[in-house]
Structure 1
């Protein structure tokens, strides 16, 4: 999977400064939130900085493809605004949400086994399916034409770059193989991105010392 994750030229043209650190964590049994994972959320809230320049960079990126960032906020903005009252979800989601808040960085977590083909970041045609739950029932939406989305062979996995995840690939308490996307724009340094990745992998190893971790940086100097 790592070698097959792509960012299309249309997205690179929109934001040449974009980079994503892709991390896989396989053989990592998940489970309900516990004292350790909720302590991570509490500690992250104490270090949260909603005024970090990275948040403004993501607002600019959203406006560039027609989204309204104050109506559909980038994930890092939404998390930082809720940092003191973030709900505990499960151990792995708590871990990556804590990293997102502490490092002022959008972090997406996905169930690797739910993917159909590789993840790729594209500008949407507008007819791709995006599965959600509405009123407690399964439903399907579609992205706006030109919207930046993550997708696989079955459809959109995350709308508006990192705004909202589909139901199909969410990490649950039974997920064992995980995919994480740590996304960065200028002026966020690449070294800071790598440090956030190290922080996340350290937490994942604390949850399960036998986890098999791989990583790949897409963007930055390789472009």
Structure 2
């Protein structure tokens, strides 16, 4: 499945330095936040990048490039480093949030059982469905034309590159197979991206020994 994940040329033209480490993780046994995952978040918070880190600023620049205002809809890593202590969600989400704030890169986590077709990063036409909850009720929103979005065959899975995930594919305590998208812009290096992936794998193996992990680096050029 991860071999088919692609970045559309229109996105590469916008940011030729964009790369993503794609990880498929199979056989997870997730659970609510516990002392272990709480400790991951606390340790990461002590070593977190700052909001003026060049790796974070690169994402604000990328948002401006497709017309978004990053002070209103912040890149995920920007929002996380401004929210200390980090939120406690569940063990798997805590794991990738800890890696995100430590390395200064956005990480998306998706439930593969909820996916329809292959993930791809594209610029939206504007009519794609985006499933949300509004005032406690399921609702459908739509991206703006030209917005950078992750999507599958059913609709948008994450708006504004990594700003907001749809409710359909989010990782829950019932998730067993997951897709992780570790996203890079310069100046974050390929070596640091791989190191972040290795660290995430280690935490997920702590959550569930014996998981199977596949990874693929989609790199510029």
Whether these two folds match at TM > 0.5 is yes
Number of corresponding residues: 220
TM-superposed CA distance for 1:87, in Å, is 2.0
| Match in the other structure for 1:66 | 67
Show the 5 A alignment for 1:1-223.
1-50=1-50, 51-82=52-83, 84-220=84-220, 223=221
Structure 2, unmatched stretches of 5+, are: none
CA distance, structure 2, for counterparts of residue 189 and residue 210 of structure 1? 29
Q: Provide the alpha-carbon RMSD of the alignment.
A: 0.7
Deviations 1:40-70 (A, max 9, x none): 0000110112222111110110000000011
CA distance, structure 1, for counterparts of residue 68 and residue 217 of structure 2? 26
CA distance, structure 1, for counterparts of residue 192 and residue 7 of structure 2? 21
CA distance, structure 1, for counterparts of residue 183 and residue 10 of structure 2? 17
SS in 1 for 2:162: coil
CA distance, structure 2, for counterparts of residue 219 and residue 193 of structure 1? 11
TM-superposed CA distance for 1:159, in Å, is 0.1
Normalising to structure 2: TM-score of the pair? 0.98
Structure 1, unmatched stretches of 5+, are: none
CA distance, structure 1, for counterparts of residue 33 and residue 53 of structure 2? 28
Deviations 1:25-46 (A, max 9, x none): 1001111111100100000110
SS in 2 for 1:71: coil
CA distance, structure 2, for counterparts of residue 55 and residue 49 of structure 1? 8
CA distance, structure 1, for counterparts of residue 86 and residue 138 of structure 2? 25
Normalising to structure 1: TM-score of the pair? 0.97
Deviates more, 1:146-155 or 1:211-220: 211-220
Over 2 Å off, 4+ runs: none
SS in 2 for 1:23: strand
CA distance, structure 1, for counterparts of residue 178 and residue 214 of structure 2? 11
